[in-house]
Amino acid sequence: MRRTPPRFASLASVASRASLAARAIACSALVLAACRGTAPAPAPIKAPPAASASPDAIELVESAPVETTLNHADVRDAADVWPEMIAAARATLDIAQFYVADAPGSRLNAVIAAIEAAADRGVRVRLLVEKAFRDKYPETLERLGKRAHVEVRVFDVHATMGGILHAKYFVVDGHAAFVGSQNFDWRALEHIQEIGVRLESATLAGQLDELFAADWDVAGGAPIARYAKGHGVWDAASEGATVRTADGLRVRLGASPRGFLPDDAAWDLPMLLDWIDRATATIDVQLLTYKPSMRNGDEWRTLDDALRRAAARGVRVRLLVSHWGMRDPGLARLAKDLAPPSSVRVITIPPAASGDIPFARVSHAKYAVFDGARAWVGTSNWEGDYFLASRNVSVLVEGASFAQRLDGVFGDGWESAYTKPL
């Protein structure tokens, strides 16, 4: 059952409430044929007044599969947050997505309607999608592309970087942004467990827009050298790349792959490794898939070795993966080698009462919490190609209020009836 959420909540107020249930992940990357939704269409969103300058802020956002206990009353749904953010756009809306797949009567209807309403009031909308899925889900892209003030561009990331456009984010007027595991897929808002964050920050939104602009230009035919021509917004090595929220959190962005960033110091893999190696007590990770390998089968042990190092020095490592990835031999080896209290569990979302929904009813979230003090929320599964060859983005947060609330989400999933040891 959906709720009527409060307006943009600070993480301080969120953390002050009880550490509730869980909810994080769902619809993965390789989806083949859009199914039909059954949920009633949400009420239209009215555009609020133009946004005024506000302090930097971050909000935890989730999507929970219907008919499960993974929903959290104090964590807003992406299905509510997305239309609200888009309705606030006054000048620009830049969207980078793996693909777009809508269905009649789904919760994504309100999101698409909000994009169309933004274009109708003169907002410049740019939508960048991955070439590999352009022809699998053409209907909504064609519908949007025919609208005035909307431009759709297809990015052949395999030809550019060797992988796919797997990032999922959008930027509103250069001051607000959303980053998360949710694809623009109706199933991601109804039948998949996902985690994301809403950002209010001209610095962070500006960094994402700089990355978007580079990808947009290269997708349009600009040379690869375009990535070396940053405009100084994303100076990842400087202290200015990290913002401090009103409630004391430190937030910065990361992205992959190296060599295709406005600033290679923004590569998120080294940031992740640093936080794993600095952990002293606990590491909790939830992912769709975890593989110490590349898609071609080559071994890639960078993150696997780091988790093993942590466990060897006494850190409790807990890894929660979806049932889609439970048969990977590398994951099985890690589960076998970890000694209690470290362990690996698998989360399986039961089928919907309405029947089978292909490429849904799964946990798709991608996040990690270190010592209850630092958190990574991203779009990458923990496999080599996501960090070395595909476009992904992530948000790194330092501060107990956010990290512990996210760890509460993890704990709810870890202890839920949907999980079992691998």
Strand residues in 201-298 grouped as ranges (E) = 243-244, 250-256, 282-287
**Which ranges in 220-286 belong to alpha helices (H)?**
268-278
CA distances 217 to 178, 209, 230, Å, are 21, 12, 12
List, in order of start, the domains of the chain with CATH numbers.
22-421 (3.30.870.10)
The pLDDT value given to residue 231:
56
**pLDDT by residue (tens digit) across 326-335?**
989 999 999 9
Which residues, including other chains, have CB under 8 Å from residue 172's CB and lie 6 or more apart?
A: 85, 86, 88, 89, 92, 93, 205
Give the bridge partners for 322, in sequence order.
347
SS3 state of residue 195: strand
SS3 state of residue 222: coil
CA distances 403 to 11, 83, 141, 373, Å, are 10, 26, 36, 5
- Tokens 């956002």 label which residue? 61
Whether 192 and 180 have beta carbons less than 8 Å apart is answered as no
Token pair, residue 7, equals 């307006």
Strand residues in 30-74 grouped as ranges (E) = 57-63
With a cut of 70, which residues of the chain have pLDDT below it? 1-54, 230-232
- Other CB atoms within a 10 A radius of the CB of residue 250 amount to 15
The pLDDT value given to residue 232:
64
Max Cα–Cα distance, the chain, nearest Å: 59
Token pair, residue 373, equals 């003090």
Alpha-carbon distance of 171 to 181, in angstroms, equals 15
* CA contacts within 13 A on the Cβ side of 191: 25
| DSSP label of 238 | S
Burial of 349 (0-12, 13-18, 19+ CB in 10 A): buried
pTM: 0.88
- SS3 string, 96-162, reads EECCEECCCCCCHHHHHHHHHHHHHCCCEEEEEEEHHHHCCCCHHHHHHHCCCCEEEEEECHHHHCC
The pLDDT value given to residue 230:
62
Name the residue type at position 279. Answer: A
The pLDDT value given to residue 18:
35
- Other CB atoms within a 10 A radius of the CB of residue 135 amount to 9
Alpha-carbon distance of 69 to 419, in angstroms, equals 12
Whether 389 and 321 have beta carbons less than 8 Å apart is answered as no
